[in-house]
Amino acid sequence: MSELVKMFVNGQALRGGSLSDALSDATFLGETATAPEYRFYSVRDEFPGLAPAENGGQSVPGEVYELSYEMLRQRLLPREPPELELTVIALADGTGSLSMRLRADALHGEGLIDITDAGGWLAYRAGSASPTDRG
């Protein structure tokens, strides 16, 4: 039997997102949020990135799944952007979970927009114009 891990997602791997098929065989554990210790960014309006906050952190909404290391290694991680890396985060209920986070060197990259106050990736995408609409 394969060992299972908990994975928090907050962007393209959310239900209905472009990476959600990577979690099609995972067990959906529910919607949740991070502990109020993070900032949340849009990277070139292509995908979001979570980052620990030195101050001014907030909770970021997302979903939690239970999946095998094999599914994580073979189906999800190879499709993640190079600006993200695997880490352990704190959830609002005080437990931990694997998650993707923005690499420290990507915090200074071009096309980074702080969307912490937007209410999550889906709310941000619903409320923002497409990149071509922004000029």
Express as a percent the part of the chain with pLDDT over 90. 84
Q: Within a domain: residue 132?
A: no
The closest of 73, 75, 98 to 86, measured between CA atoms, is 98
Residue 76 in any domain: the answer is yes
Name residue, tokens 């906050």: 53
Q: What is the pTM of this model?
A: 0.90
Query: Does residue 135 carry a pLDDT above 60?
Result: no
- The answer to whether residue 112 sits within a structural domain is yes
pLDDT, tens only, 6-26: 999 999 999 999 999 999 999
Residue 4's nearest CA partner among 80, 97, 77, 82 is 97
Average pLDDT of span 38-61: 95
Q: Please say if the pLDDT value at position 133 is more than 70.
A: no
Residue 129 lies in a domain: no
Q: How many separate domains does the chain show?
A: 1
Pairing of strands 84-90, 61-68: unpaired
Alpha helices in the chain (DSSP H): 69-71, 121-127
Q: Which domain holds residue 25?
A: 4-119
CATH code, 19: 3.10.490.10
Q: Give the neighbor-by-neighbor strand order of the sheet with 112-114.
A: 47-52, 38-43, 112-114
